[in-house]
A and B are shown apart, each in its own frame.
Chain A
């Protein structure tokens, strides 16, 4: 039934190869066509797969046994069930929109083909990540999407900021991935398998303490990839990459990999109540902290980045409350409205010729009407105004936190909800309403974005408004998505609240959202409340939020200055030169074989060779140390110390064949003597 599933990742892989190998010389500014055809193919088959899964089909199939090592066997295999199908749809929809949007946004960029090459590679990795049927493959493609993320963050590597942001993402993720890797190893050490279904079936065999340790390690991985306390610091800087890729990677898909992994392992996490409580607490703390920083940011993309961290925190709160469906539900609605917000912000930045500071915008509504109304739709969705999508998923998360007894995280979530409504409408008001603060120069260029950019936004806006519908039902939590995902996620059921309390909580959510919008309205439209005075009144809190709680400074002091300064350069060179070089280098290797000639492009080979040289320089440096101290010593020891052996051997190799034959015969007689003596 689902036998064609391998086609889904194959299309972007082919697009990646085509653009990678032939992009620079042949495809050039048609690179988008290749990638878009591929993503449309994947989206088509994802939809077919989704429909098949809705009708009850599932798939669990090993394609190829990759590693044999005694007991350990790692397979490349696919698993398709409700969770996979949901993720496939989210990835396909957002990726398709972003691909089309990128035509306009990246138009005229020198590295147009390179951008689409990376984008296709990312889609391939992301599809493989959600299609995997075991933890090893998950880990491999977890790193794969990470690689694409670094490549895209550092895409404009000629400026200093993007590579620095890429480096930061790389370092923060190393910490998380270290934990994730250990967790995967512990699963194997405990259960002897990495296959999802076998692991989940054997969860009852694991003791609570082991399950807690494993899940804590996995969660550490999730905090890195999904940007939670304490490893969220890389995500705000990730906005240095092209904005469409922020929409795809850093809002909708890659950063949700951590949530996907936890939902995928829901049975395992249920066996570790402590970890679940910790996840709920960390999620709520992250939601609140990131939201408070978003209140005061001036850079439009920074607001959205902190907003993403905050919303991811909500999703973790949902997972930690044992209601995995609510986390994935919010993941879906968030993917649509946050991708839309990023695309909208990109449209604004595009229109403003690269300007990101909201305080020099204002009054853009009449210049960019489509951007305005689509972003407005996204803002009502994220703020939690019924009946739009964000309201249903966020409210369900808060309700499950309340039901599972996580009252303090629930309260933190409510405060963050107020902040969310406030900062989103602050963004909207500062950008699109009021007096124009745009200077002459920018005003001259100000324009609505082309149709390739606005149409995907309109499509996402519709989804942002209505996609909550899949979760609406009476009685509550009995909608399509609950039935669909409930079959594969091991949700904990905490009973239901009295109907009045349910509606009370719902009403309360709406109330705080409206209050947030109202405050933003008073501050930035009516100007009856002065933001400066509020900031002054809040004093130290304002300063803390403005400086992002000094987390970067603390980390910098403890880790970067302390530990990484030396290694950082190496890591960065590795990232920038080797990874980039390998992608370019492989391409040229093939062109070379294709032409079967010597006159291949020295330019790229230089790239790869320089990259390899960096690595080899390092290895060689070590080797030189070893060579100078150990090898020379060893050689000397062989020659002098064990002179008999060393010099003896050299002497034995006389060059006279009669000596050789003598030694062969002697060796034979020694063996025969020893054999019969011992026998």
Chain B
């Protein structure tokens, strides 16, 4: 047994996490003592914390170090995801600022919970042990349950929280059962050790108990990344939660889920890759098809974005299926890039929904956006960029993300794997279907005439988020090279 006390060097590697933890605790501590007129202190602390953590994360270097008895592995891989989470955290704090003030819900606890959820996600991306993954996931989930129910005077918000909690607990139970089965079979929860154990004893791969354990993990993580049929909670929760929380949930926990899934299945269950690639392939087809078809029938924009986020998860799972083939590097890096690309366009789109809304949690319908281009040409233009990116049209980052995921699938298909050829065709058809509902919203904005039914809730911070997202969408759509090579570097530690 290694020394139980971590060294100072090990602790320093966790600087970003510690900064986030401390700022969350500090927010919680000072909240009761802050005068109402200084209430912006807490979000300022949250922003400062996430920026500091971001800077600290950049300075950690490119090495790969396993610390805390194999629980945590700090590497480019964890840093890539942590940067996504910190950017999301930063943008969501800015989104929430005026929104919460206008809804009279601006309390420090919100920002503290946001910080704790971010901490959970960061640890999830860095964990290399089933137990630490589970603990981090629970830290994230519990914070999110609270955030979903944050508008406690609105019944929709309460409903969302309780639904999320109950279904989440079920999924966690399955996952924990799977973990315990794996521990029973292999005698360890460390992913490398699990992978080595299964790899050494060749017959174990066909052990039914191990198969059972794998499927339970599929379900547990499938819930977090909202893969069909474990997605049922998502539309209700996304619609009922405060919109800023929805923006956060649609990006952060999903990316964290994918970070953990990639590690658990690729490193821990690598010997079963033939099995899980097929399962994930089927799940991805179900997920994107269901998400797109149901998004097509929605009248509420928020619900449409909720279903479309299911569809996006489906595309991302495609990257996972490629990770189980000979082109594993391409599959994993395309998945990482997709997560990055999804960040800006989705947060930006939700920010537009916050800027232009009815009161509290009433749903904005597609028709509310009629003629927006005449009333607010600049905002309509930014929304157009974000929608084009969500559709996956150049020169936006959404195009590049889809391009690399689909490209990886097609490369596998070109090696003579007809199954992947079929996957590619289904994916492209799905992308075409998604164009209909995104462009329909665009058509409402630009072509139809309509009266002002939404209230303008302009604030600098909101506009900054929208402009920032739109610019990032364009910038990384035109210059994807740096992020792509970073993603390729990052997955090397898993290979």
Q: Taking beta carbons and an 8 Å cutoff, which residues of A are in contact with B? A: 64-70, 585, 589, 592-593, 596-598, 600, 602, 605-606, 608-610, 612-613, 616-617, 619-621, 623-624, 626-627, 630-631, 634-635, 638-639, 645-646, 649-650, 652-653, 655, 657, 659-661, 663-668, 671-672, 675-676, 679
| Chain A residue with the shortest CB-CB distance to B403 | A69
Verify if B236 is at the interface (C-beta below 8 Å from A): yes
Residues of B within 8 A of A593 (CB): 467
Which residues of the partner chain A approach B183 to less than 8 Å between Cβ atoms? none
Complex contacts, B442 vs chain A, CB 8 Å: 616, 619-620, 623
Cβ of A596 and Cβ of B460 under 8 Å apart? yes
Whether the pair B170, A664 counts as a contact (CB closer than 8 A) is: yes
Q: B63 at interface (Cβ–Cβ under 8 A)? A: no
What is B's interface to A at a CB cutoff of 8 Å? 162-163, 166-167, 170-171, 174, 206, 208, 211-212, 215-216, 218-219, 223, 228-230, 232-233, 235-236, 275, 279, 290, 293-294, 296-297, 330, 373, 377-378, 380-381, 384, 403-404, 407, 411, 433, 435-437, 439-440, 442-443, 446-447, 458, 460, 463-464, 467, 471, 479-481, 484-485
Inter-chain contact A664/B297, CB cutoff 8 Å: no
Smallest beta-carbon distance A265→chain B, Å:
26
A634 and B166 contact, CB distance less than 8 A: no
A597 CA / B463 CA spacing, docked (Å): 9
A661 x B296 contact (CB < 8 A): no
Q: Please tell me if the beta carbons of A613 and B293 are within 8 angstroms of each other in the complex.
A: no
Chain B residues, Cβ within 8 Å of A626:
436
Chain B residues positioned under 8 Å from A613 (CB to CB): 373, 446
> Taking CB as reference atom, which chain A residue is nearest B385?
A612
A380 CA / B206 CA spacing, docked (Å):
90
How many interface contacts (CB-CB < 8 Å) are there between A and B? 148
CB distance from B250 to the nearest CB of A (A): 18
A612, B384: Cβ atoms closer than 8 Å: yes
Check B446 against A661 for contact (C-beta < 8 Å).
Answer: no
Supposing A613-B373, A634-B433, A660-B167 touch, asked if A620 and B294 sit within 8 A by C-beta, the answer is no
- Is the CB–CB distance between B294 and A649 below 8 Å? yes
User: Shortest Cβ distance from A613 into chain B, in angstroms?
Assistant: 6
User: Shortest 9 CB-CB distances between A and B: which pairs?
Assistant: A667-B229, A609-B377, A660-B232, A620-B443, A623-B439, A631-B436, A657-B163, A616-B446, A605-B378
CB-based contact A649/B290 at 8 Å:
yes
Identify the interface centre among A66, A67, A616, A675: most chain B CB within 10 Å of its CB.
A616
Contact call B279/A609, Cβ cutoff below 8 A:
no
Known A638-B297, A664-B219; judge A627-B443 contact (CB<8 A): yes
A617 touches B447 (CB 8 A): yes
C-alpha gap A644/B216 in the complex (Å)? 29
Residues on B with C-beta less than 8 A from A610 are 377
Are A623 and B229 closer than 8 Å at their CB atoms? no
Query: Are A596 and B436 in contact, CB atoms less than 8 angstroms apart?
Result: no
Complex Cα gap A504–B411 (Å): 64
A602–B377 CA distance with the chains assembled, in angstroms: 8
Assuming A661-B167, A667-B230, is B481 touching A66 (CB within 8 A)? yes
Query: Which A residues touch B384, using CB under 8 A?
Result: 612, 616
**A660 to B440, Cβ gap below 8 A?**
no
* A606–B279 touching, CB < 8 Å: no
Q: Which residues of A lie under 8 Å from residue B447 when comparing CB positions?
A: 616-617, 620-621, 624
Closest chain B residue to A638 by CB distance? B293
Docked pose: A585 CA to B464 CA in angstroms: 17
What residues of B have a CB within 8 angstroms of the CB of A65 in the complex? 481, 485
Can you give 27 contacting A-B residue pairs, CB < 8 Å? A64-B481, A65-B481, A66-B479, A69-B403, A70-B407, A589-B467, A589-B471, A600-B378, A612-B381, A613-B373, A617-B446, A620-B439, A623-B435, A626-B436, A627-B436, A631-B296, A631-B440, A634-B436, A645-B293, A657-B166, A659-B232, A660-B163, A660-B233, A663-B229, A664-B171, A668-B230, A671-B279
Is the CB–CB distance between B229 and A664 below 8 Å?
A: yes
* A residues in contact with B403, CB < 8 Å: 69
Bound Cα distance A657, B235 (Å): 12
Instruction: Please judge, given known A-B contacts A609-B373, A623-B439, A646-B297, whether A661 and B433 are in contact too, CB under 8 Å.
Output: no
Q: Provide the bound-state CA to CA distance between A645 and B170, in Å.
A: 26
The reply to whether B481 and A67 contact each other, CB–CB distance below 8 Å, is yes
CB–CB A657/B162 < 8 A = yes
B215 interface neighbour in A634, A638, A659, A672, Cβ under 8 Å: A672
Residue of B nearest to A645 (CB): B293
> Closest approach, in angstroms, between the C-beta of A142 and any C-beta of chain B?
18
Question: Complex Cα distance A621/B440, Å?
Answer: 10
How long is the Cα–Cα vector from A407 to B87 in the complex, in angstroms? 70
A646 vs B481: C-alpha distance in the bound complex, in angstroms? Answer: 41
Check if A668 sits within 8 Å of B219, measured CB to CB: yes
Docked CA distance A416–B280 (Å) = 72
CA gap between A663 and B230 in the complex, in Å: 8
Which A residues touch B174, using CB under 8 A? 668
In-complex Cβ contact of A598 among B443, B463, B485 (8 A): B463
Bound-state CA distance A612–B377 (Å) is: 10
- Say how far A578's CB is from chain B's closest CB, in angstroms: 12
Q: Which residues of B contact A609 (CB under 8 A)?
A: 373, 377-378, 380-381
Q: What residues of B have a CB within 8 angstroms of the CB of A623 in the complex?
A: 435-436, 439-440, 442-443
